[in-house]
C-alpha cells in the first residue's frame, strides 16, 4: 500500500521528494516556493508572506504593502522609530511643522489640520487669525527691519533615533556621555547638549500642560503629547511560527496577510 502523494501548489505536480515545504496549508516542492515578484527562492528563508494567495519575500511585501510615511511616502521598516498622529505615521525626521518646517520633538504640542502637522505657534496663528509671521520684522510704517535670524539645526532620522534612545536611558547625561553621543551622531557636543536641554524643558512643560484645565483654547484642538515608539507588534501580520511579526503594521480589520514559516516535512515511508 502506497501513501497518496501531495500536489505542489506551484507546479501542480505530485511531491515525491523526501522533504517538502508547507506554507499556508499548501505543500510545495522546495525549489518551487518563490516570491511572485522577484522570483527569488524562499526555501532557505526564515519567513515569507502571503496575500491573496500570492507568496512574497520580505522585501517585496514591504515595498508593496508595508506602512508608508505620511510625509515622504517612503516605506517604514521594523527598525525605524516613528511618530504617530491619530492614524498617520511619520519617520522621525519627517515629523515637522508643515508651515515652518521645524522638526517636532517628544512632549511638544502640535495639531493636525487636514492631515497637515502644525506646531503650536502656527496652529494658534491659523485658528485665531494671528499675524505673528507676517508682522515679524516690520515696523509701524510697514518697512521691514533687518533682523538676524538664528539658524536652526536640522537632524536626520538616524541622529534623532540615537538622541531619543539615549534620552530614554538618561535625560541628563554627563559630559562624557554627551561626547560619546555626539561622536555617534556626528554632531558637536554643544548641539547635543542643547538638544537634551530643550528635550528636558519640553518634557517638564508637558507635565505641567497635562494638569491645565481642558477648557483652554489650545487644549480643545490639539494633541497634547507627541510620542515615539517602535511599531506596535499587535498591528502586524501573523508571523510564520504563530507569533507576531514586527515589520508591517496593519489594522486588524484588514489583516488578510499572513506570514508563513517554510517548515520542512518528511514524506512518510512506503509500507
8 A C-beta contact, residue 83 and residue 201: no
Asked if residue 1 is part of any domain, the answer here is no
Of 121 and 241, more confident: 121
DSSP state of 218: T
**173 and 209 part of one domain:** yes
The CATH number given to whatever domain includes residue 217 is 1.10.10.60
Is the pLDDT reported for residue 168 higher than 80?
Answer: yes
Asked if residue 209 is part of any domain, the answer here is yes
Q: Return the sign of the alpha-carbon dihedral for residues 117, 122, 125, 131.
A: negative
Is the pLDDT reported for residue 24 higher than 60?
Answer: yes
What confidence category does residue 80 fall into, taking pLDDT thresholds of 50, 70 and 90? Answer: confident
Q: How many structural domains is the chain composed of? A: 2
Asked if residue 19 is part of any domain, the answer here is yes
Q: Return the sign of the alpha-carbon dihedral for residues 259, 264, 270, 271.
A: negative
**217 and 108 part of one domain:** yes
3-state secondary structure of 122: helix
**248 and 205 part of one domain:** no
Asked if residue 72 is part of any domain, the answer here is no
**245 and 256 part of one domain:** yes
**213 and 101 part of one domain:** yes
Give strand pairing partners of 244: 238
Asked if residue 250 is part of any domain, the answer here is yes
pLDDT at 221 (0 to 100):
41
Asked if residue 85 is part of any domain, the answer here is no
Per residue in 185-230, pLDDT (tens digit) is: 888 888 888 888 888 887 777 666 555 554 444 443 433 333 333 3
Asked if residue 196 is part of any domain, the answer here is yes
48 burial via Cβ count (<10 Å: 0-12, 13-18, 19+): buried
Of 245 and 65, more confident: 65
8 A C-beta contact, residue 112 and residue 88: yes
| Residue range(s) defining the domain that contains residue 47 | 6-66+231-266
| Separation between Cα atoms, residue 67 and residue 231, nearest integer Å | 10
Of 146 and 60, more confident: 60
Q: What mean pLDDT do residues 34-46 have?
A: 87
DSSP state of 252: G
Closest C-alpha to 247, from 2, 68, 96, 62: 62
pTM more than 0.75: no
**108 and 219 part of one domain:** yes
**112 and 190 part of one domain:** yes
pLDDT at 248 (0 to 100):
33
Q: Which residues contact 226 (CB under 8 A, 6 or more apart)?
A: 83, 95, 104, 105, 106, 107, 108, 109, 110
**164 and 248 part of one domain:** no
Q: What mean pLDDT do residues 21-30 have?
A: 84
Closest C-alpha to 110, from 193, 183, 207, 206: 206
Q: What mean pLDDT do residues 8-35 have?
A: 85
**100 and 222 part of one domain:** yes
**179 and 211 part of one domain:** yes
Per residue in 255-268, pLDDT (tens digit) is: 233 333 333 333 33
Is the pLDDT reported for residue 51 higher than 60?
Answer: yes
The CATH number given to whatever domain includes residue 16 is 2.10.110.10
Is the pLDDT reported for residue 97 higher than 80?
Answer: yes
Asked if residue 194 is part of any domain, the answer here is yes
Amino acid at each position: 500500500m502506497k501513501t497518496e502523494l501531495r500536489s505542489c501548489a506551484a507546479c501542480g505536480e505530485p511531491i515525491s521528494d523526501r522533504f517538502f515545504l508547507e506554507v499556508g496549508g499548501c505543500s510545495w516542492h522546495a525549489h518551487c516556493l518563490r516570491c511572485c515578484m522577484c522570483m527569488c527562492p524562499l526555501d532557505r528563508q526564515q519567513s515569507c508572506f502571503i496575500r491573496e494567495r500570492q507568496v512574497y519575500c520580505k522585501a517585496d511585501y514591504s515595498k508593496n504593502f508595508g506602512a508608508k510615511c505620511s510625509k515622504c511616502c517612503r516605506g517604514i521598516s521594523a527598525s525605524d522609530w516613528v511618530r504617530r498622529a491619530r492614524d498617520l505615521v511619520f519617520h522621525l525626521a519627517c515629523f515637522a511643522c508643515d508651515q515652518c518646517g521645524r522638526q517636532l520633538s517628544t512632549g511638544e504640542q502640535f495639531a493636525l489640520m487636514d492631515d497637515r502637522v502644525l506646531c503650536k505657534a502656527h496652529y494658534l496663528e491659523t485658528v485665531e487669525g494671528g499675524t505673528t509671521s507676517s508682522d515679524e520684522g516690520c515696523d509701524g510704517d510697514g518697512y521691514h527691519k533687518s533682523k538676524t535670524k538664528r539658524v536652526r539645526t536640522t537632524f536626520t532620522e538616524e541622529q534623532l533615533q540615537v538622541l531619543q534612545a539615549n534620552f530614554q536611558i538618561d535625560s541628563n547625561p554627563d559630559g562624557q556621555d554627551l561626547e560619546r553621543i555626539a561622536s555617534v551622531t556626528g554632531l558637536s557636543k554643544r548641539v547635543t547638549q542643547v538638544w537634551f536641554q530643550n528635550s528636558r524643558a519640553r518634557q517638564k512643560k508637558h507635565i505641567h500642560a497635562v494638569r491645565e484645565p481642558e477648557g483652554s483654547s489650545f487644549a480643545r484642538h490639539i494633541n497634547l503629547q507627541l510620542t515615539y515608539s517602535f511599531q506596535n507588534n499587535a498591528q502586524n501580520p501573523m508571523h510564520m511560527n504563530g507569533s507576531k511579526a514586527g515589520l508591517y503594521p496593519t489594522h486588524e480589520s484588514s489583516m488578510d496577510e499572513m506570514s508563513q514559516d517554510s517548515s520542512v516535512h518528511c514524506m512518510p515511508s512506503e509500507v
